[in-house]
Every structure is written in structure tokens, then in C-alpha cells.
Amino acid sequence: MSDVQEDLRPAARGAVSLDVVVVGAGLAGLYALYRLRKLGLKARAFEAGSGVGGTWFWNRYPGARCDVESLEYSYAFDDDLQQEWHWPERYGTQPEILRYINHVADRFDLRKDVQLDTRVTSAEFDPASGRWTLRTDRDDVISAPFCIMATGNLSTPRVPDFAGIHDFKGKWYHSGLWPHEGVDFTGLRVGVIGTGSSGVQMIPLIAQQASQLYVFQRTANFSLPARNGEMDPEKERTHKAEYPARRAAAWETPFAIAGHPAPTKSALDVPEAERNAQYEAKWAEGGSISFLYSYTDLLVNKEANDTASEFVRNKIRGIVKDQRTAELLAPKDHPIGTKRLCLDTNYYETYNRDNVTLVDVRSAPIERITPTGVRTGGVDYEVDAIVFATGFDAMTGALREIDIRTGNGPTLAEKWEYGPLTYLGLMVAGFPNMFIITGPGSPSVKTQMIAAIQQHMDWIADCLETMRAKGMKRIEPRAEAERDWVHHVNEVADSTLYPLANSWYLGSNIPGKPRVFMPYVGGFAGYAKRCAAVAENGYEGFVMGR
């Protein structure tokens, strides 16, 4: 490299000085920029991807779409935006959601403050200067008193460490790192490993192209029909007419989703025939919240949950013609709703196709990837392509990948060795002035995420404004407040059926990851009120300093 080129390296130009540095430019990072700019703060987002959109930029697999209706799963901060945007379908497809996010970036002129193709590799807080210094894989050095981690909960794709994977002669893909040009599986023998939400969405579409599809299933998941379809113009009109009220109503619910009256009865207080009629109506309506809202106790009482779980198992037995396959697909190891409930279009029906074979890798785990396929139970399944729908190092993965440290204390990864510790999912004791949007310990993935993102960022923006007004320069949680919050998060989870499932909520999809329940399942409404009360009480549980 010549001297001239050397001088052009960002590090050689000195640190970029900002008021707030944002990591990530998904829905959270973009909204952070919008709010920070409104406060008159100089902020910039650094994004590893070559485009904005986060989840919706990376996950381009066939069938990728949201599982919360698009009229709900969208930003609420600008009424003109929500009035003007037209969602063509009940559940937006990945390309449609990405188009929407790009529209938001343009409409609010956010792009000029986003640096793409840049991965933040380290973040260090200097207690003396009270500033964070972030470094990137492009040699940028960024200095700012405040740092906002908008790095996402499901942004660290994980391919299991299968022996032989690098010897595979065909092509392999991960759902969360899908090629932008798409993949044509026409006429190919394909293996899909994983039957979570991503697998369930892609399997019916890949089956239509592939000559043969093998689905390698370790755990059967419950899936409900999405009943997707074109947007009903009347529904869109009334929804838009009521938008502000609906958004406000969503904030009063556990999942931040309006339009589903809270249940009033226990599943065990109604006769079986009435109960099944109720489940039948919810099955016909489509959607997961509606189904789980059939009764008050489906997520807290195993006996109550059994009624709903068995209803869905019977549906699977009714749809899938081969009864051995049906039994394998019918989940029996966890209560419905305790792993992310999938929404599908023709998922179970797909197993009636002649070119689709379900392979049980629970009883016979995958032994290795061979040069020509997948070996399990001593059988070689020959394939031309493998799709890993194997999920993510969820909730903590993206943060742990950054070397986050402060003074001489432990790094964030060290502090979280036995599980994530946060206060309200927003901040970490010992890491001043670093905010997390929907961090572990917040309702995050148990809600309509865009509402959670807005709630978090609004709280952060109010906090920054308060600090400025009071001349405060530094904020971090008290260790006791953090400890009590983590205790509360666990206590609430333990009062539900969630811990009965081996799920990514508990980190159980990652070998060696501590088994700690990470999202807060006490409900969005209560959480948002608690955050507001904390602020009203002078940022109770936080220490502020000059």
C-alpha cells in the first residue's frame, strides 16, 4: 500500500466525533437516527450489511414474511407514513417489508447518517473522558459519549458445527444469509435442516421447485395457518381510520398487538365441545395471537395448554395422509406457544407431496455432512443443495461478538458468561452510557417488535433529553437494580410454561450457551408502564453523574 493510500484509511484521519453512535441500521437503528436527529444530536449508524433493513435485508429465503399482520407490524411514529403506505397482503413479504424500510429511510432522509458495509468490532468506554470509542472492520474510529446498540436479537445466523460441512460438493445456504440474486432449486435434490419459523415458511415453496426435498427435523414445531391473502380494502380503510387509537390500544396489551380482545375464561372452565369450537374458529381465522388468546391460561397451565396442543396435533393428523409422518410432525415435547408459534401456508399439506420426505433427526441425529449429502442413522441422503434453517445465536449473539469493555472491568461477554444481565433490557451495570434497543430482559421478541423498538428508543431519547437538561453526562444502572430486574424476569418466566420448551428463548439451540430465559414475558403494557415510572421517579435504579 502506498503512503497516499495509507493516509486515506479512516483511522489515519482520526476519530469521527459524534454525540451518539448507533450500531445497526435495521428498524431499530433507523428509528434511533430519526429520534436522535429530532433532539438535535449528531448521530451516525454503522451497519455490517450493504443495505438498511436488518432482518429484512438478510433473510431473503423463499416464503420469508412477517407473522404479525402488516397493518400492525409497521412504524407508528408518523401518521402520514402509516396512512400512505399500502400493504398489498395481510402479512407482508420480505421484499415488501424491505421496500417499506427503504422508503422510510428515504422519506426521513436517514441514509445520509448510515455507513454501510461496516462491522463494529470493538467498543471501549474510557471512564476518564466519559466517551465510547468504537472501531470497525474498515478501520474507522468513532468517539461519542453515548452508544446505542441496535444490533438485533436475531441477527447472528448459526450453522451447527456438523462434521464434513466443508467437504460438501453442492451449495449450501443459511436462511439468514440468503443470496440476493435468489436461489433456483428447480430439479434439484434439496435438504432443509430445521423446522422453526424459517423452515416452515420455506419448505412449501422449495418443495414446489425441487425434484426431491428431504426435511431433517429434530423438534416438531406447532404451526398454525396464516390465512394470508390480499389486503381487504375495507379492512385497510377502517384500520387506517382508527390507526392512532389502535396503536394506543396495542400499547395496553401484552404483545403490543391490538384487535384481539383479552380472554376472560380458563380453557378448563368450558365444555370440550365449546372449547373445540373456539379453537376451530381461531384456526379458521389464522394468526397466532388470536389462537393463544382463546383462553386466559394457555401459557400458564399445562392442563389448559394440553387442550390446545391436542387440538392442533389432531389437525396435523387430519391433514397429513401418512400417519407415521403425521405423528412425527405432531409436537409432543413442548406445550403449544412455548416455542415461537409458527404461521404457515400449506406447511403440513406439503408432506402429502410425493417428492417430500420427513427425516427424523431426533432419534438419529445428523452424523455428518458427506461430500454428496447428509448422513443420519447410517443412511446417506444424497442432495445437490443444503439449506440450514437452523436459527440464530439469539438475543446475546450480536452483542457478544463485539469486544465491549470499559476501564479495567470485565468485557460484556465476560460479564454475561452465565447469562445476560441488564436492567429493563436497556442498560448494563458497569457499562455507562451504552443503551441496548430491545436487549435481553426486555419484552422484545415476545411482542410486535416495532412497537418495542419505538418504546425503547422513545425512552432512551427522553432520558438523553433529561440528562442534557440537568447537565448530566453519565448514566448506568445500579447493580442492585439490575440484579432485581434479572430476578424478576426469571420469576415471571418461571410462573409460565415457557421454560418447559427447549427454545432459543433459553439459549438451548446453542451448545454450551447458559440456560437462562432471556426475553421478559411479563407483557409489553406492564413493562412500558414500568419504564415510564422509572423515568418519572428520577430514573429510579440508575445512577446519573456529571
Sites of contact with ligand FAD (CB under 6 A): 23-24, 26-29, 46-49, 54-55, 57, 59, 64, 66-68, 73, 119-120, 150-155, 198, 398, 402, 437-438, 448-449, 453
Q: How many CB atoms lie within 10 A of CB 105?
A: 21
Cβ-based nearer residue to ligand FAD, 51 or 191: 51
Q: Which does 119 bind (CB under 5 to 8 A by kind): ligand NAP, ligand FAD, none?
A: ligand FAD
Closest CA to 414 of 425, 434, 428: 428
Closest CA to 517 of 435, 437, 436, 446: 446
Give the interface segment with ligand NAP, choosing from 195-203, 288-296, 311-319, 534-542 (CB under 6 A).
Answer: 195-203
The reply on whether position 460 binds ligand NAP by CB under 6 A is: no
Give the interface segment with ligand NAP, choosing from 132-140, 214-222, 350-358, 418-426 (CB under 6 A).
Answer: 214-222
Q: How far is the CB of 527 from ligand FAD (least distance, A)?
A: 15
Q: How far is the CB of 22 from ligand FAD (least distance, A)?
A: 9
The reply on whether position 389 binds ligand NAP by CB under 6 A is: yes
Closest CA to 256 of 291, 289, 292, 296: 289
E strands in 119-237: 120-126, 131-136, 141-144, 146-149, 171-174, 189-193, 212-217, 223-225
What does the alpha-carbon distance between residue 259 and residue 257 come to, in Å, rounded to a whole number?
A: 7
Q: What is the C-alpha end-to-end distance of the chain, expressed in Å?
A: 44
What does the alpha-carbon distance between residue 183 and residue 187 come to, in Å, rounded to a whole number?
A: 12
204: left (phi over 0), alpha (psi -120 to 50) or beta: alpha
Cβ-based nearer residue to ligand NAP, 125 or 178: 178
Cβ-based nearer residue to ligand FAD, 150 or 481: 150
Q: Which residue is nearest to ligand NAP (CB)?
A: 196
* Strand pairing class (114-115; 43-46): parallel
The reply on whether position 195 binds ligand NAP by CB under 6 A is: yes
Residue type, 187: G
Q: How far is the CB of 518 from ligand FAD (least distance, A)?
A: 14
- State the binding string over 143-172 for ligand NAP (x if CB under 6 A, else -): -----------x-----x------------
- For residue 76 the three cell numbers come to 407508528
Cβ-based nearer residue to ligand FAD, 59 or 396: 59
Give the interface segment with ligand NAP, choosing from 81-89, 193-201, 282-290, 296-304 (CB under 6 A).
Answer: 193-201
Q: How far is the CB of 187 from ligand FAD (least distance, A)?
A: 27
What does the alpha-carbon distance between residue 119 and residue 372 come to, in Å, rounded to a whole number?
A: 34
Residue 423: DSSP 8-state: B
The reply on whether position 399 binds ligand NAP by CB under 6 A is: no
Give the interface segment with ligand NAP, choosing from 197-205, 267-275, 292-300, 480-488 (CB under 6 A).
Answer: 197-205
Listed in sequence order, the DSSP H helices in 251-360 are 272-285, 288-292, 302-319, 323-329, 347-350
The single residue among 120, 203, 250, 343 that binds ligand NAP, judged by CB under 6 A, is 343
Q: What residues contact 443, with CB distance under 8 A and at least 6 apart? A: 256, 425, 452, 519, 520, 521, 522, 523, 524, 527
The single residue among 391, 425, 443, 523 that binds ligand NAP, judged by CB under 6 A, is 391
Residues that bind ligand NAP (CB under 6 A): 66-67, 154, 160, 175, 193-199, 201, 216, 218-219, 340, 343, 361, 366, 389-392, 445, 504, 509
